[in-house]
Amino acid sequence: MRKFTKIMAMLLAVLLLVGIMPPKAQAAGSTKLIALTFDDGPSSANTGRLLDGLKARGAHVSFFMTGQNAKRNPSLVKRAYEEGHQICSHTYDHALLTKLSNSEIRSQLDKTNKILDDAIGYDLAYSLRPPYGGYNDRVLSTANTPCYYWSVDTRDWESRNANAAYNMFMKYAKDGSIVLMHDLYGTTVTAALNAIDTLQKQGYEFVTLSELQVRRGITPMAGKIYFDIYPSSHGTDKPLSNPAISYQQTDGGKKVIIKGDSRARIIYTTDGTDPTPEHGYRYKGAFPVKDKTTVKAISVVNWNGFKSGIVSKKISYTTLATPKLTAADGKITLTGITGGANYYYTTNGKTPTSSSARYTGSFTAVPDTVYTVKGIGGGYYSSASVWATYGSSGKLYTDMRPGIWYYAAADRAVGEGMLELVGTKLAPHTAVTRAQLVTMLYRMSGSPSASGDMPFDDVPESAKYYEAVKWAYKSGIALGCGYDKFEPDEYVTREQTCTFLARYAQLCGKDLSGLSEKAIDAFADCDQVEPGLAGNVNAMCALKVVKGYEDGTIGPKYGITRAEAATMLTRLEDILK
């Protein structure tokens, strides 16, 4: 702290120094607490040594940092926060706030808060110590955060002498003191660590301002300034304990129970990472976890100044294997199951229970039925519940259920070989490429052979769609994109799809000349159709192969999905029969 510029501030400091403040009081408990604070840092020369010493002694303090020095030393800011110290503001450039306008005060604080947030990595709240001890009601109101003065000034900034600062500390410090020092000076670090050693032997704990107030039953108030936190009738509460993680066994696995200090909220994670101000869940009661889950938890009163350590527990248990449904020859079989265990299934979409039908071997499948399977009991924890739809095609789908608008068309397209599944997934909402669309038409046509050379240099002979593209070109369905390119991986638009389908219809002998020429006019965005493709789009609209969206548009430039492609292809197929 620099020399006071205000005579009143100097007088107040003297009064505090000689003890004309509340007399020394005795806490209801035996614990003696001191809030040691450091102004003006962090210092690249001294703060690191101070943090090393504090860590070795298990002491926590509060740092009132200037924005300028925090900006120069962000790693020290972050380290101090991560090691449990409270980070506070001392304005950006040690400004005398009583001489500033309200907007200038806010600028000083907001600028500093942003620097501290960036260094720590989280958006936190910061208490304030007005530089030079200069404050008034306007400053406190504008700052709108808890503010702190001091009850012991070691005058380390003045003496720059370790013994002198130590002696001042020892002469006036007592239970509940807020002690002022400055981590700009190496002599201060020496004096502070020596004082901590002496006072810890006398039973003192060194805590942050936030912890001191909570343990004394005081809630910090924005716009108020605190000079000390002496013991009162509230007594002294215990330190914040670490949360305790346990679990209880249930039929479905294990439920985690976390118990912690009633003064704090518990934040936990289940992905093995540490809980932070921006990552984690608020504990509200027992919750289930999967096998081999690492739960981490922390008790938090104030992320910046009063939180427990992080505890960790790995939850492991034996679980029934998750079954896999397979279908062949009209029967459903479960594979990958735990031998000797009980698996149950339902046909109504509900999760099985031990009262559901028990799987005893392959059974006849009913088309368009959703089968849900789960392993339950038998001395194991239940497996995950899995489901699949058995389609009329004889295929299983794990991403499509009966009743969805595209279900019948998609199942039919799969059954007829137009669409291929990826395992048991239809991927109905995946966009279709040019190569995929001509492949669907090629299969719909019976996969005929096509003679001649491939005209496109971007379709290699090794490509799965090679024959389909060659057929589409020779048949006049797909003419390419110019410069000997087909662009097989480009997504096909709705207007391009209509063109491919119209040409295919004509290839199959369908006469499109007698159709209404105004079918396309029913759509609000018909003017967005490429003029050269409008006739083909109109034909597909007239045949009701394309019906547009609920909002009255046709979306000519939109891509089509696999679900939409299946619907259009099966509609066209019915028309061409």
Rounded to the nearest 5 degrees, what angle is found at the Cα of 180, between the Cα atoms of 136 and 87? 80
Q: Mark whether 310 and 440 lie in a shared domain.
A: no
What does the pLDDT read at residue 121?
95
Q: Is the dihedral of CA 184, 187, 193, 196 positive or negative?
A: negative
Q: Mark whether 301 and 382 lie in a shared domain.
A: no
Q: Mark whether 354 and 300 lie in a shared domain.
A: no
Tokens of 455: 């005209």
Q: Which residues, in sequence order, are bridge partners of residue 561? A: 431
Q: Mark whether 199 and 255 lie in a shared domain.
A: no
What does the pLDDT read at residue 291?
78
Q: Which residues, in sequence order, are bridge partners of residue 469? A: none
CATH code of the domain containing 91:
3.20.20.370
What pLDDT digit, counting tens, does each position of 478-487 carry?
988 989 999 9
Give how many domains the chain has, as a whole number.
Answer: 4
More confident residue, 9 or 34: 34
Nearest to 218 by CA among 203, 236, 239, 242: 236
What pLDDT digit, counting tens, does each position of 139-165 carry?
999 999 999 999 999 999 999 999 999
How far is Cα 36 from Cα 57, in angstroms, rounded to an integer?
A: 14
Active site residues: 39, 182
Last-in-domain residue among 200, 226, 252: 226
How far is Cα 371 from Cα 399, in angstroms, rounded to an integer?
A: 13
How far is Cα 227 from Cα 234, in angstroms, rounded to an integer?
A: 18
Q: Mark whether 523 and 565 lie in a shared domain.
A: yes
What does the pLDDT read at residue 26?
37
Residue 282 has pLDDT above 50, yes or no: yes
| Assigned domain for 126 exists | yes
What does the pLDDT read at residue 266?
98
How far is Cα 467 from Cα 457, in angstroms, rounded to an integer?
A: 14
What does the pLDDT read at residue 19?
38
Contact (CB, 8 A) for 112 and 124: no
How far is Cα 320 from Cα 337, in angstroms, rounded to an integer?
A: 7
If phi > 0 it is left, if psi is from -120 to 50 it is alpha, else beta; for residue 434 that is alpha
Last-in-domain residue among 397, 418, 445: 397
| Assigned domain for 185 exists | yes
Q: Mark whether 450 and 555 lie in a shared domain.
A: yes
What does the pLDDT read at residue 8?
41
Whether residue 42 has a cis bond before it, omega within 30° of 0: yes
Last-in-domain residue among 315, 333, 353: 315
Q: Mark whether 435 and 570 lie in a shared domain.
A: yes
Q: Which amino acid is at 101?
A: S
Q: What is the mean pLDDT of residues 1-11?
A: 40
| Assigned domain for 413 exists | no
Q: Mark whether 379 and 442 lie in a shared domain.
A: no
| Assigned domain for 160 exists | yes
| Assigned domain for 407 exists | no
Nearest to 42 by CA among 76, 88, 1: 76
Residue 266 sits in which domain range? 244-315
Whether the model pTM is above 0.85: no
Q: Which residues, in sequence order, are bridge partners of residue 64? A: 39, 88
Helix H or strand E segment including 182: strand 178-182
Mean pLDDT of the chain: 92
How far is Cα 46 from Cα 42, in angstroms, rounded to an integer?
A: 8
How far is Cα 189 from Cα 6, in angstroms, rounded to an integer?
A: 27
| Assigned domain for 121 exists | yes
Nearest to 323 by CA among 313, 314, 315, 333: 333
Q: Mark whether 212 and 70 lie in a shared domain.
A: yes
